[in-house]
Amino acid sequence: MASTPARGPRTRVHVISDVHGNARDLARAGEGADALICLGDLVLFLDYADHSRGIFPDLFGARNADRLVELRTARRFEEARAFGRELWSGIGADRDAAIEQAVRRQYAELFAAFPTPTYATYGNVDMPPLWREYAKPGTTVLDGERVEIAGRVFGFVGGGLRTPMRTPYEIDDEEYAAKIEALGEVDVLCTHIPPEVPELVYDTVARRFERGSRALLAAIERTRPRYSLFGHVHQPLVRRMRIGATECVNVGHFAGTGKPWALEW
């Protein structure tokens, strides 16, 4: 009777997105894995589930956060911006400094929690210029770039597309498409935002369609990666679906669950 050949050691990678200040669980996210991948949105500006958490309520209080969420959820963006301007006018010229100081406090804690090795890209609420200061050795930041992990090629594109929300790292569709194109063919396509598919971009709690990328969808259909991994939409209609040969997986639930998604081969 023929013996079964022994299998070599397997590789396990944990993938997370939308950390939004969850440093406690981030410190354990790499346990049992050979590497951690983070697809952005480290910063917690405002927690839509708990309006007392985040930079905004720290500065203006939970009651004002309640009002801002109410306006945004109702898609009354102009009123939301006017309300925000009124609040920020009380801080005046110190607005940018106040935000940066708050973001720096969060980044210091979050980057310190990353295990080695970590491969990370930006989310739309992140501030890329600060990442260079806080990314320690063992954390590789990629945007429009590729890396090989145990024989598989991973491509990374960070940030989001332009929206009425005007979050810190939103870029034009053409710039985003160029970064997707620069990756070429990869085994695993890692982005912060999802491809432009209704089931993947609709948030059932915020009750709105978030922006996905048509260029990303076209790349998936053209290059057929094994996986497309993304976050951004916290409560999508569908967390997982196939587009042709590609398994598309939303991993953007880390802030709420504290649990990474595991990829093993």
pLDDT tens per residue across span 82-93:
999 899 888 876
Instruction: Please name the amino acid found at residue 168.
Output: P
φ, ψ (nearest 5 deg) of residue 69: -65, -40
Share of the chain above pLDDT 70, in %: 96
Instruction: Report d(CA 39, CA 41) in Å as an integer.
Output: 7
Closest CA to 255 of 49, 37, 68, 14: 49
Peptide bond into 117 cis (omega under 30): yes
Instruction: Report d(CA 164, CA 203) in Å as an integer.
Output: 16
pLDDT of residue 2: 46
pLDDT of residue 80: 92
Instruction: Report d(CA 224, CA 213) in Å as an integer.
Output: 16
pLDDT of residue 94: 82
pLDDT of residue 75: 83
Instruction: Please name the amino acid found at residue 1.
Output: M
φ, ψ (nearest 5 deg) of residue 98: -65, -40
pLDDT in tens, 36-83: 999 999 999 988 888 998 999 989 999 999 999 999 888 898 999 999
Q: Read off the pLDDT band of 6 (50, 70, 90).
A: low
Residue 8 confidence (pLDDT) above 80: no
φ, ψ (nearest 5 deg) of residue 143: -155, 110
Strands of the sheet with 35-38, listed across from one edge: 139-141, 118-120, 35-38, 12-16, 261-264
Residue 120 confidence (pLDDT) above 90: yes
pLDDT in tens, 148-207: 999 999 999 999 999 988 899 999 999 999 999 999 999 999 999 999 999 999 999 878
Average pLDDT of the segment spanning 137-154: 98
Share of the chain above pLDDT 90, in %: 82
Residue 3 confidence (pLDDT) above 60: no
Average pLDDT of the segment spanning 104-119: 97
Q: Read off the pLDDT band of 1 (50, 70, 90).
A: very low
pLDDT of residue 129: 96
Q: What are the C-alpha distances in Å from 97 to residues 50, 91, 100, 154? A: 25, 10, 5, 36
Structural domains of the chain in order of their starting residue, each with its CATH number: 12-42+114-258 (3.60.21.10)
Strands of the sheet with 145-149, listed across from one edge: 145-149, 152-157, 188-191, 227-230, 246-250, 240-243
Burial of 12 (0-12, 13-18, 19+ CB in 10 A): middle
